[in-house]
Every structure is written in structure tokens, then in C-alpha cells.
Amino acid sequence: MKAAIYHGREDVRVEETEPQSLGPADVRVAVGACGICGSDLHEYAEGPIAIPEDEPHPLTGETLPLTIGHEFAGRVTETGADVDAPVAGDTVVVNPIIGCGECQYCTAGEHSLCDRLMNVGIHGGGGGFAETVVVPAENAVSLPDDLSPEDGALVEPLGVGLHAVRRSGLSAGDTAAVFGAGPIGLAVLQSALAAGAREVYVSEPRAARRELAEQLGATEVVDPRTSDPVRAIKAATDGGTHTAFEVAGVDETLTQAVRTTRKTGTTVVVSVYEAAATLQPNLVMMGERNLVGSYGYRGGPSSRQGEFATVIRMLQDGRLDADPMITGRIGLDDIVEEGFERLRDPESDHVKILVTP
């Protein structure tokens, strides 16, 4: 089968590879759509970062080259001997997080906090930029008939956004500020509105993303290259927002986000940082502000009360909308030129590009 294989920085090759073997508790998924994530782009442009290079991943035992892609949905084509559900023919979205199952976090059901965490499509175990992927059946979450595999491919980033809003403690009627309107920032925006935010302000340098934020319901968008977002948002909210979301991953926006919150406000760090940031702790101390981290999503891979299942429900009833975030659809062969290279262009209007293997 064909797969996009990561060999190193700026070296992703679409190659023929052997389909993975199927264990008794696994299912094989024929990928219908797989989104290119910001972290895929980071790995392409500046990696390997999380992709294991020399040291084999503790759970997968793999190092590069390996197949990437972790935001995907598709159809089950084969199931292991011990698998009752899903069955062949079901459309599923894959929850890519797998913990060791043994540590204090996994045994408490908090797999996303496992120190040896594996992400299918980052750390090994195949990936969504391939014709098929084999995953544990419990990580294959059924998609209802009214949702497409394209909706399914957006469940993962929408889950990250939902989890961030849940971590913020945002109450109905609160105000929010979102720094960065890429796919995760827009997912945060949607979840903040779904949570009853009274106003959501978005700071984003790219015009196309600001427009999309407005289309998705942002109260006001700010271009941080032409005006000070902290000053603008504090003025609009009479002193600062209840919550802020750092979804840009740059030093400056961490302080901007914290300063934008009112005293006692909460800033959620959603981005990965490549280096340490500077922060004056007095902003936290004297304002009794809160800085909290949000990583992935919670609630067990296929739990009905988990955040993956919640996103699916919210896509069904329209509180979340995948479609406006999808700005490109390409084939697997075009993943480098029409995918990674387009997204790394700072003038690009793209938000989420889906790959159809």
C-alpha cells in the first residue's frame, strides 16, 4: 500500500509499504480522510521533535522512518478475532492516544498524561497518511451515519479545543480571548461559544484566519501586527477577559494572554513551545491569575462520556462545525507540495488541509 513516510526534516516520501499485521484486539481502517496537523508541519519543517529519531519509542519500539498522520477517520475493513465492535463496514474516527496501561496516570484513566504515551502517527504504529492503519479496536470510535469521514478527521483537533475550554473553567456568560486562529484556535473559539461565552476575542496575524474566526462567531478580531491585542481586548471588556487561550506557541503571546485576562482570570496553554518563554510571575501572583495546561483530550479512547464522543455529538447537533475549517483536499501523492509546503507559507490562506489516501 502507499503511505507518507517521515524520513527526517523536509523529507517526507510517499512510498510503497507493507500493510501492518492485525492483532486479535485490533481493527484495520481504510483511511477516508486525514488532516495535516500543526505538529505534522512542525515535524516536517523543524523536526524531528516528537518523532523518535535515535531512541526507540518506549511503547512502539520504533524510530524513523515511520508513517505519519494522526487526525483520521475511515472505514473498518478487517477486525481481529477478539473484536466485537466495531465491525467491518463501520465508519470510525481513530483516537490516536495510547498509554502504557500501567503507570499512575493510565491506571487512573488519564492516558493522555502517561509518560510513555504514544500517538498513532507520531510515535509509530502506522499513521493516517496511508491507505490503511491498524489500531486497537478500543481506539476506533464509531461515527454516526450523518457524519462524514471528513467530519471525522476534524474530531481530533476539535477535541483538543473542547478540552482546552473545559480546562479553562469558562462559565456561561464569561468572556474569552484566543491568541492564534489556526485549526486549534478556531476549535477553541467554537467550543468557547458552545460553552456560552458572552464574547470571544481573537488575535491572529493572518487575514484569512481572522475572516474565518469572524465567520465562526468571534466577537472581534485583532491583527496583532497593527494594533496591541492586550490593549484592545482589555478596553473592550472593561479590564480583561475571564479566560484566555494561548494557541500560538510564541514567547510574546504567553504574556499577552496572561495580561489580557482580568485579575483572577485563567489562561490556558494549548501550544507546544520549542523553547522556554519569559513571564513576569507578578502578573500571576498579584492578579491571582491562573495558568493551566491543556494536552489532548480526556475520558478514555471510546468512552461515551469521553471528549471524543462529545465532539461527535456536538458535530451532529451543529454546536461544532468542521466544514468551514477545511480549506483544502488533496491526494496522498501531493502531501508535500500541496500540503506541507502550502501550510508553511506565511501568506497561505489555508487552515486545515485533508489528505485522501
Give the separation between CA 225 and CA 331, rounded to whole angstroms. Answer: 35
* Nearer of residues 235 and 286 to its own copies, judged by Cβ: 286
Q: How many other CB atoms are found less than 10 A from the CB of residue 272?
A: 12
Q: Report, in Å, the least distance between residue 60 CB and its own copies.
A: 18
- The DSSP letter of residue 130 is B
* Nearer of residues 81 and 276 to its own copies, judged by Cβ: 276
Identify the bridge partners of residue 26 per DSSP, sorted by sequence position.
136
Q: How many other CB atoms are found less than 10 A from the CB of residue 288?
A: 9
Q: CB-hemisphere CA count at 13 Å for 58?
A: 9
Q: Report, in Å, the least distance between residue 280 CB and its own copies.
A: 4
3-state secondary structure of 169: coil
Q: Report, in Å, the least distance between residue 296 CB and its own copies.
A: 9
Note if the bond before 65 is cis, omega within 30 degrees. yes
Q: 29 near 78, Cβ under 8 Å?
A: no
Q: Report, in Å, the least distance between residue 291 CB and its own copies.
A: 4
3-state secondary structure of 83: coil
- Give contact residues for its own copies (rule: CB under 8 A): 104-105, 110, 112-113, 167, 238-239, 246, 254, 262-264, 269-273, 275-295
* Nearer of residues 40 and 246 to its own copies, judged by Cβ: 246
* Nearer of residues 289 and 350 to its own copies, judged by Cβ: 289
* Nearer of residues 87 and 279 to its own copies, judged by Cβ: 279
Q: Report, in Å, the least distance between residue 136 CB and its own copies.
A: 23
3-state secondary structure of 270: coil
H or E stretch at 337:
none
Q: Report, in Å, the least distance between residue 116 CB and its own copies.
A: 13
* Nearer of residues 263 and 304 to its own copies, judged by Cβ: 263
